[in-house]
Structure 1
Amino acid sequence: MQRIEHRACAGGWQDVYRHHSATLGCDMQFAVYLPPQAATQALPVLYWLSGLTCTEQNFITKAGAQRYAAEHGVIIVAPDTSPRGDGVADAEGYDLGKGAGFYLNATRAPWATHYRMHDYVAQELPALVEASFPATAARAISGHSMGGHGALVIALRNPGRYRSVSAFSPIVAPSQVPWGEKAFTAYLGEDRAAWLAWDASALIAGADERLPLLVDQGEADEFLQTQLQPQRLQQACDAAGHPLTLRLQPGYDHSYYFIASFIGEHIAHHARALRG
């Protein structure tokens, strides 16, 4: 593992590392923010998953999360959104291939060779973080858009692994919207029944753990009706009795201005659960 960025921020350090991922079969980068408390004690970790077209850079440069992480004593780890490299399969367009891993384990060629972001985020990366940094095994997970989908699905598929989960503008029912239909067809094949294992709204009914969900959605989001459709998650949670706090925020769109406006509340939410 090689540290390739090291910057003072909010009393702590915003770093970026590169390492070889055995799960993905390629080199990967991830960002880690170590708040000042990390100099003297082990701290819980919030994993942040970004959206389509993003790398580890978008969140650490735009969200303004470091000062809240420093306030609450939480490490933030932000991985890239897909495998990368010359030998990694790719496609035309922003919503498939590199930058669009959808946090699942692909089963269809040529994607299955490298696109195993679920296992990377849920297993390999936490093992690396907990072995390399002053991090405890208390974990939370959050994300935006495609990353919000990833956060919800990974938490639902791994009961007991996370203390809390939240999302901004998540793709809550990818099996029923264009972004998800395109990606799932490529990564998983034509069998729509297989898609449901990676769809948060479908997973709710059989969830083994009733981990409360916190979701913020901007009402002026340009993708609200076509791609996000948070009402589907609300309906699924209502039917299953699964705790959900869905906050519709007037005037906010899909951008990082929205995330920056509410990330402090999300980090406080996670901090309470992580220290509980």
Structure 2
Amino acid sequence: MSNESSTSKQIEELKRVSQTLAFNGTLSQYSHYSQHNNCDMRFAIYLPPHATGAGIEGKLENVPVIYWLSGLSCTDENFMQKAGALKMAAQLGIAIVAPDTSPRGEDVPDDPDKAYDFGLGAGFYLNATQPPFDRNYQMYDYILKELIPAVEASFAVSSKKAISGHSMGGHGALTIGLRNPEVFTSISAFSPICNPVECPWGIKAFTHYLGDNTDTWTMYDASHLIKKANIKTPILIDQGADDSFLKSELKPESLLKAALINDYTIQLNMRPGYDHSYYFISSFIEEHIVFHAQFLQAV
């Protein structure tokens, strides 16, 4: 089956699960069968008034998109419900798409101990190569080859897009953005896992998903990728200084050191008193949307 026909089949199978109004735009959930993850997947999409015909003079416009990748144990719902991003997205005319964080279903393998940091809810936005996870855990390809084409073909959005995320999703945003600079205008993250090959969360996930050859791990590690980035996509990171995971799991200092090797400038804001929660994200999410808007709306 060709890529074109595969995408068309997938688009035909988009099923709306829910829809509600928010700031004169629409927040919806859709499900569809994923050819890469071999299971049903769900995503949420916020379309601002400009993209629904409820904008200025009732004109329907194709709007740019921010793809948001959530963290460990989250679904497509957490960001849309807790981040407080929709008001600014509506004002600036930007859509937001939030996929689920992993494949799900009775036949999808999980952590044997049901731990939150691996398996269901913890796909790490990579393509697994080790059985039994390689059949379902293909989140990297799912984002780039299924979700984005489906959104662009099915909704009033343009081809301009940025990527952002939190924690494990911040890792996903950095790695996917750095590996695909021609796709995304800008990258941002809250509390990202910056050097997963050197932290417990990353070591556990990469061992099970990718195997023991640590050379293959670096393609999903922002601190390694940024050293050889030829195109220097703008990056904004916010990190809570009182985040309990800061030293053991997140390691933003590793990313900064790696960036210096390549003369790659990163805007990193250390926020005193803030932790790892959505209270932190909601405090600064509007700054991230404005950051992306300057690149998404550039002529």
TM-score by length of structure 1 reads 0.99
Structure 1 residues 124-163: Cα deviation after superposition (integer angstroms, max 9, x where no partner): 1010000000011101000000000000000111120000
Is 1:221 the counterpart of 2:243 in the alignment? yes
Residue of structure 1 aligned with 2:170, choices 120, 124, 148? 148
SS at match of 2:286: helix
1:158 maps to 180
Q: Distance in 1 between matches of 2:229 and 2:262?
A: 9
The structure with the larger Rg is: 2
Q: Distance in 2 between matches of 1:3 and 1:208?
A: 40
**Contact 2:25/2:46 (8 A) holds in 1:** yes
Q: Distance in 2 between matches of 1:66 and 1:84?
A: 27
2:98 maps to 78
1:243 maps to 265
* RMSD, aligned CA: 0.7
Structure 1 residues 245-265: Cα deviation after superposition (integer angstroms, max 9, x where no partner): 011001100000000000000
2:140 maps to 118
Q: Percent identity?
A: 53
SS at match of 1:78: strand
Unaligned runs of 5+ in 2: 1-13, 54-59
Shift, 1:89, TM fit = 0.9
Residue of structure 2 aligned with 1:5, choices 9, 18, 28? 18
Output the amino acid matched with 1:82. Answer: S
Output the amino acid matched with 1:28. Answer: M
Aligned residues: 276
2:57 maps to none
Q: Distance in 2 between matches of 1:186 and 1:273?
A: 37
Residue of structure 1 aligned with 2:194, choices 140, 157, 172? 172
Q: Distance in 1 between matches of 2:117 and 2:234?
A: 29
Output the amino acid matched with 2:84. Answer: G
**Contact 1:184/1:195 (8 A) holds in 2:** yes
Output the amino acid matched with 1:270. Answer: H
**Contact 1:165/1:212 (8 A) holds in 2:** yes
1:23 maps to 36
Shift, 1:208, TM fit = 2.5
Is 1:185 the counterpart of 2:207 in the alignment? yes
1:88 maps to 108
Q: Distance in 2 between matches of 1:137 and 1:25?
A: 26
**Contact 1:26/1:114 (8 A) holds in 2:** yes
Q: Distance in 1 between matches of 2:149 and 2:192?
A: 26
2:4 maps to none
Unaligned runs of 5+ in 1: none
Structure 1 residues 159-201: Cα deviation after superposition (integer angstroms, max 9, x where no partner): 2000010000000000000000000000000111111110000
**Which stretches of structure 1, 4 residues or more, deviate above 2 A after TM superposition?**
none
Q: Distance in 2 between matches of 1:45 and 1:25?
A: 26
Is 1:211 the counterpart of 2:224 in the alignment? no
**Contact 2:185/2:234 (8 A) holds in 1:** no
2:61 maps to 41
**Contact 1:48/1:141 (8 A) holds in 2:** yes
Residue of structure 1 aligned with 2:223, choices 193, 198, 201? 201
SS at match of 1:170: coil
Q: Distance in 1 between matches of 2:219 and 2:102?
A: 19
TM-score by length of structure 2 reads 0.91
